[in-house]
Amino acid sequence: MILLTVREKLLHKRLSEIQRLQLNSQLSIITGLLVPLLYNPRNLDLFKVRVNDSEKFYFGIKDYGDFISKLALPLYVSTRFFIASSGPRAGRILEDLISSILKEKGKYTIYQRSGLSIFFPNIRERKQIDYILDKDDKIYFIEQRTSEHTGGRTAQESLLDKFRIIYDKILTNNLEKLNNKKEIHMRIFILFNEKQEVISRNNKSKGRLTSLINYIMEEDNLGRRFKELSNTFPLTECFDLSYNKTISFSDFRSCLEKGGIIYWKGNKVVSFGILLGDEFFKELLGTNYENIKNELLNSELGDDLWVIYSLLPYEIRNYYLNGFTWTRKLYDDVIRDFKIDGSIVSEDELIKSLRDKILNEEKFKTLNLIESTDLKQQIRYLEYLITAGLIIRAMGPIEIIDEKLLSKV
């Protein structure tokens, strides 16, 4: 298990840039809400004022005085809070994560959410593009869309207006700060389909992609500019990134529909393409992509948020049934004063040491943490509780919820 809070605060290890990015995005939720709830569940009373009368009417929430009715408000408010809070955070961190990966693993110089004026200082429009990637004699101009549902014409226009400017600069040979670049690449990058799956050529919405390609190919948009560039550059090709080869195509539209990238080759190389999901990283990180992906998923990302949030419903239930949370009890009795010396070098070792200590203590030998007779399940749940207790120790026992954080919902 990777616990970024514990790794940094208790084991005194340096986090990677990607881990730091993840932790910083989660910190206010962990310290402002989750730690106070598990350490001092009386904070749940604050949730009562977060539900208005119309919500109570809609859900039929009444106070019958039993633990089931008491569960309704905190579970509803905590779920609503996470839905409202995590969506925008996930969107922002996604862009920062992509930049971090490309910078660290691909060795690109990244200009994120920057104006085209960095390389075209004479343009009048203040046009921002999601990413500019600069490396050696290549430069990429990239617009990202999280979902294939890119919206109507206004959203599609915001994807393409920057590319029109770049094409016009290339066609008039007015490249200013790009004269030293041998390759100029333009990409639209789409991450997820409408089902929030990583998008691919197999699970895409054909209608959505066709609509975007239709707009790209309009004469006043990029269609005319594609033709003019082919008249200027001696060679036009369609490259299939999936099979790493040039493919036949009848026109620009057919190349894009096949998932190809249009290349114009002359004194410079210019290209345009729509990349779906993993295609983006495969192109920019090359053959190292799969190794980087596996390393990121298996050894980089922390488990702090999902573990502690997953425990919350069970601990709220236990509080209303029995008057305490196991996280707080284990923290007070064992975790708070447990000696962490230099012999413990990983989170898993720390969790195992605490687990063995707890299971060997007489008062914990009859633990019944969850409604299961499976001893393995009981022990696994104990390890998650220890994890939450370690996060509390790492961040400090926090008594009060950050009401400013909660008031944003």
DSSP states of 237-266 as a string? EEEETTTTEEE--SSHHHHHHTT-EEEEES
Q: What's the chain's average pLDDT?
A: 87
pLDDT band at residue 152 under the 50/70/90 scheme: low
Q: Is the pTM of this model over 0.75?
A: no
Q: For position 197, what pLDDT does the model report?
A: 82
Query: How far apart, in whole angstroms, are the C-alpha atoms of residue 329 and residue 101?
Result: 40
| 3-class secondary-structure state, position 344 | coil
Whether the CB-CB separation of 249 and 255 falls below 8 Å is answered with: yes
Query: How far apart, in whole angstroms, are the C-alpha atoms of residue 61 and residue 249?
Result: 61
- pLDDT more than 70, % of the chain: 94
pLDDT band at residue 150 under the 50/70/90 scheme: low
pLDDT band at residue 167 under the 50/70/90 scheme: very high
Q: What residues does 111 pair with on adjacent strands?
A: 132
What are the CB-based long-range contacts (under 8 Å, 24+) for 324-327? 324/41, 325/38, 325/39, 325/41, 326/369, 326/385, 327/38, 327/39, 327/385, 327/388, 327/389, 327/392
Least-confidence region, from 3-7, 130-134, 220-224, 283-287:
283-287
Query: How far apart, in whole angstroms, are the C-alpha atoms of residue 354 and residue 352?
Result: 5
Residue 409 has pLDDT above 60, yes or no: no
